[in-house]
Structure 1
């Protein structure tokens, strides 16, 4: 999710052997112009985000929070438009191969940033499960220096100003008919309530409780007092004011329509979001048709798998059986988390046969925090941890957890992020924390299918759970475009998902609300996965006995996060080169 990856140009060997993906007339001056452009923009953007350099060259949150007022947003749009104009003046055919990849990535990043600014998405800085008031403190642990804690105090003191600008933006959005649909925000303001607690009970106290012993005792006492005062004098009042604003002013006046097409300049906005999340030039009509085809194909596989279980009723009866039979549900949160941990360790035993390069970074498994669990998705994974939702256990079937663990943990997002961080090859800094949903979520969904090869689905029910998850992603193509292009109702979208998947009623409700409030994002998963599986079939056919899935996977993950057309071009070059090992000299890191 929140989402968070780290890219690289790794295909030196295969590009030397392959027919070139791009024209090879190379002028060093073109490379220099491009590097100057993306390095300057990235440094400027970090400043806009109030990030500062650490001693080891990484970035962390500095003093104060970003400016988000309308004037600052307009300034960013002007900067990005100018950047795109300068990028257009650099001849792509005169760039080196690596810089051509960098140029394609940079153009997609800046285009997406500019589109969001142009359509003023900052006037609705939240959706059904992600909010501007969350994620402002570490989920785990503290900071490693006194200065980092000093900056943390400054950020806490800056919360009233930051929230005030967000509220002004949201009022402007309401004034022009741009808001999140009301139905998808019901109850979400409750996630603000934990932040009204006094210091030691407030979530912002977490980094203080985790303050390292390396900070001297006198400084610890001083910083504890400073954070305590900032929570009492700035944090709690800011959250209290925001809670009142949400309940009394914002939520009662949010729009009651659902479709992106009902927003100002809606059709163009939705098309821009499709491009941003999928990195593909596809129309809503094309995506809807692809989704219907995939739903039909997967439905056939689901019938075959249902037959393997021995269940004698029809598909609706089988889905109801899966949703309601106690054998498929954990009795305690620990049981659910233990199941995911067991799957993750079984996957560990298969990784050496699946990937050539393995990272050293490890992840942990945690429950979704209580404050957001009621309306949060079933799970999300990243570099340090995978979150699994233990709220409302009768809505969290175990037969889908194998696929979910593969997707969120390994070989999915957690492993993907670790390889992005540690993989061989040098990449520009602007790509290090970039994340394209089509690439990242496409890989995540592909790994659910990969679990079949890895032998981690134990029962026909778990296989059906995987197919139900694949059907869920295919249905998204139909539902997202149905909602935002064809004007479907919330009830019609829920009915389509209910009919075609084994998702619980709670899950399908929260998922549909997510698609309503986040136009286009749900399209990335299936389109990305389809590209990867199509390219794998082509590679297996072309390379025959020379195909090595480890090299195929290393190539994909070693590229890091790139637009899907770039991924396809590089895979084509790799196939043409004979499927070589992208890391011929790199030892496994882990």
Structure 2
């Protein structure tokens, strides 16, 4: 069944290296020219740069307006008293707009760009390519997956602090707009159902609970009433009372009917008519769709077969390291017996949610004491550690990191092993997602489309590399902690096998679950939620390990090239200063870092001699 096992062992890694070599040279060379010609060339460069800046500035402003009022993990919309328009006419207009932007972008002579603009060009092009590709496959007809949904995103909005009356008026406008917004989403989902473009039915069990909890809640218990329970003291009491009354009316007249209508649609139509297949390639235009998702999430031009084989090779390497670590624990049984021991012995699991939260907080504080030795420029933004909200927790991942918060899942504590917690905390908080995202936002010299957007291969690659950095930082205290790190590495390498297995090779849900069960120490609950996530979110799972491989390979290249002149803090600063970029751009930046470091080392030695 896994026909690509016959591929050469070297072929996939060679393909990955070739894919990463795609891109621009970021250090244009200027030949000696007569003075007049040099002035002319400089003027042309300036004109091209201004033209490019005008294009990305205009598009970014338009993009924010299009998604105004939207709230998800990659927010690109400006604050608004309404929710985004998602109807077919608006979607068609977006497709036309981004197609025109792409035409204008490709007409720009990129060889005439200078300074940071060659990188800006590559990042902007990748963003527009992905946005346009999603419009062309009508991704908006499937506006949710087993991990996140348009209705749960409203919960994130409800939990964000509101600081003034203007903010409350905007939020009330969004509550009143929910019926229109939900009707447009339902219409889109019906269109997707008609053409076999839907979330797989097998992943939908229980996904209506988060809708039901809002639809059936009393006012004080309603998630969307959250901002009104405790309001800022700077708002007068009479004004607070007025706003609460408006909220009660909006929830009664707009929110509850809309959620009840959505619940009936999900239970009576969507969950009964959703496709019974799993593979992305089984949907209309599925092969092109899956390849586009691979390009979007990995930024590489690799085929599913190449990625699958890379995964098979990496799984074998990590398994050998796991076997060595088991010996260090003193355990005498087989590999399956060791995994069973880890999954069932109570000593490896927290007894209370507070114990899990406190252990994560302690680990994060330990990182604070080490991080300055590995990264030079640290962000001003601080992050909190909070439990995943209960309405999301049953189907949510173990943790999720953002600039201001590290969400830790305390649901079903027997599925949350403490030996995985160091790797999870490094990944989601610092030096992973929270640190990287904050540094990107604080890079004031970068355009906003680089500061506030997220390219998965870079962001997840850095976060996974952060787990590896934990070895040098001394974060894995016992062989069990180190096995937890390896099981997380194995988990991400296995994703290369599982995601392509499901969406390209026709694997069943049970096959995918068995692969993770046999190769990692993840709990059965986590395995079930993760596999459903991969089924409903094609390609996203591929970004982690391929991104980490790029960073690890780049660091090894820099260490070998620079020898004793290699500076780990400067290396990490160079990577983090990029914001979020395609992997080829990252690798090119490391090449430039090597040349810059050589120059600095030579200058330092020359000064020492003089």
Please indicate the TM-score interval, normalised by the length of the shorter structure.
Answer: over 0.9
State the SS of the aligned residue for 1:380: strand
The alignment's TM-score, normalised by the length of structure 2, stands at 0.89
Structure 1 residues 221 and 60, CA, compared in 2 at 3 Å: closer, same or farther?
Answer: farther
Unaligned runs of 5+ in 2: 1-24, 31-40, 71-75, 601-610
The structural deviation recorded for 1:59 is: 6.9
The structural deviation recorded for 1:61 is: 2.2
Corresponding residue to 2:535 among 516, 527, 533: 516
Paired with 2:98 and 2:379, the residues of 1 have a C-alpha distance of 35
Paired with 1:252 and 1:442, the residues of 2 have a C-alpha distance of 37
1:112 aligns with 2:118: no
State the SS of the aligned residue for 1:61: coil
Paired with 1:153 and 1:60, the residues of 2 have a C-alpha distance of 16
The structural deviation recorded for 1:208 is: 1.6
Question: Corresponding residue for 1:21?
Answer: 27
Paired with 2:77 and 2:200, the residues of 1 have a C-alpha distance of 35
Question: Corresponding residue for 1:7?
Answer: none
Corresponding residue to 1:465 among 484, 493, 501: 484
Question: Corresponding residue for 1:549?
Answer: 568
Corresponding residue to 2:103 among 79, 85, 90: 85
Question: Corresponding residue for 1:220?
Answer: 240
Question: Corresponding residue for 1:125?
Answer: 143
Corresponding residue to 1:498 among 505, 513, 517: 517
Paired with 2:456 and 2:125, the residues of 1 have a C-alpha distance of 16
Corresponding residue to 1:30 among 35, 48, 57: 48
1:135 aligns with 2:135: no
Question: Corresponding residue for 1:257?
Answer: 277
Unaligned runs of 5+ in 1: 1-18, 53-57, 582-590
Paired with 1:314 and 1:22, the residues of 2 have a C-alpha distance of 56
Residues 22 and 97 in structure 1, CA contact (< 8 A), matched pair in contact too: no
Corresponding residue to 2:163 among 137, 144, 147: 144
Paired with 1:141 and 1:120, the residues of 2 have a C-alpha distance of 30
Q: How does 1:574-589 map to 2 (within 5 A)?
A: 574-578=593-597
The structural deviation recorded for 1:51 is: 5.1
Moved more, 332-341 or 218-227: 218-227
Residues 181 and 255 in structure 1, CA contact (< 8 A), matched pair in contact too: yes
Question: Corresponding residue for 2:346?
Answer: 326
State the SS of the aligned residue for 1:129: coil
Paired with 1:125 and 1:211, the residues of 2 have a C-alpha distance of 32
Question: Corresponding residue for 1:177?
Answer: 196
Moved more, 517-526 or 553-562: 553-562
State the SS of the aligned residue for 2:391: coil
Paired with 1:200 and 1:209, the residues of 2 have a C-alpha distance of 8
Structure 1 residues 23 and 228, CA, compared in 2 at 3 Å: closer, same or farther?
Answer: farther
Residues 552 and 579 in structure 1, CA contact (< 8 A), matched pair in contact too: no
Paired with 2:232 and 2:407, the residues of 1 have a C-alpha distance of 25
Q: How does 1:440-479 map to 2 (within 5 A)?
A: 440-479=459-498
State the SS of the aligned residue for 2:597: coil
Residues 26 and 118 in structure 2, CA contact (< 8 A), matched pair in contact too: no
Paired with 2:163 and 2:52, the residues of 1 have a C-alpha distance of 35
1:281 aligns with 2:269: no
CA deviation map 1:227-280 (0-9, x unaligned): 111011111111111111100111000001000110110000000000001111
Residues 65 and 77 in structure 2, CA contact (< 8 A), matched pair in contact too: no
Paired with 1:237 and 1:125, the residues of 2 have a C-alpha distance of 20
**RMSD value over aligned CA atoms?**
1.6
Paired with 1:117 and 1:140, the residues of 2 have a C-alpha distance of 30
Paired with 2:449 and 2:548, the residues of 1 have a C-alpha distance of 25
Residues 21 and 570 in structure 1, CA contact (< 8 A), matched pair in contact too: no
State the SS of the aligned residue for 1:509: helix
Corresponding residue to 2:583 among 550, 561, 564: 564
Residues 442 and 451 in structure 2, CA contact (< 8 A), matched pair in contact too: no
State the SS of the aligned residue for 2:407: strand
Moved more, 165-174 or 204-213: 204-213
Moved more, 414-423 or 71-80: 414-423
1:359 aligns with 2:379: yes
Question: Corresponding residue for 1:586?
Answer: none
Residues 201 and 274 in structure 2, CA contact (< 8 A), matched pair in contact too: yes
Residues 349 and 414 in structure 2, CA contact (< 8 A), matched pair in contact too: yes
Counting matched residue pairs gives 557
CA deviation map 1:12-71 (0-9, x unaligned): xxxxxxx9534566511111111111111111111111259xxxxx97420111110111
Corresponding residue to 1:489 among 508, 519, 524: 508
The structural deviation recorded for 1:579 is: 6.2
Structure 1 residues 141 and 211, CA, compared in 2 at 3 Å: closer, same or farther?
Answer: farther
State the SS of the aligned residue for 1:224: helix
Question: Corresponding residue for 1:245?
Answer: 265
1:435 aligns with 2:454: yes
Paired with 1:150 and 1:580, the residues of 2 have a C-alpha distance of 56
The alignment's TM-score, normalised by the length of structure 1, stands at 0.92
Paired with 2:592 and 2:357, the residues of 1 have a C-alpha distance of 41
Larger RCO: Structure 1 or Structure 2 (Cα < 8 Å, ≥ 6 residues apart)? 1
Question: Corresponding residue for 2:82?
Answer: 64
State the SS of the aligned residue for 1:365: strand
Residues 63 and 77 in structure 2, CA contact (< 8 A), matched pair in contact too: no
Moved more, 201-210 or 75-84: 201-210
The structural deviation recorded for 1:537 is: 0.7
The structural deviation recorded for 1:220 is: 1.7
State the SS of the aligned residue for 1:135: helix
Paired with 2:387 and 2:28, the residues of 1 have a C-alpha distance of 46
Paired with 1:432 and 1:513, the residues of 2 have a C-alpha distance of 31
State the SS of the aligned residue for 1:156: helix
Paired with 1:509 and 1:140, the residues of 2 have a C-alpha distance of 27
Residues 329 and 396 in structure 1, CA contact (< 8 A), matched pair in contact too: yes
Paired with 1:414 and 1:518, the residues of 2 have a C-alpha distance of 23
Paired with 1:514 and 1:406, the residues of 2 have a C-alpha distance of 22
Paired with 1:199 and 1:230, the residues of 2 have a C-alpha distance of 11
The structural deviation recorded for 1:421 is: 2.2
State the SS of the aligned residue for 2:386: strand
CA deviation map 1:354-378 (0-9, x unaligned): 1101122111111111111111111
Structure 1 residues 298 and 150, CA, compared in 2 at 3 Å: closer, same or farther?
Answer: same
Q: How does 1:187-198 map to 2 (within 5 A)?
A: 187-196=206-215, 197-198=217-218
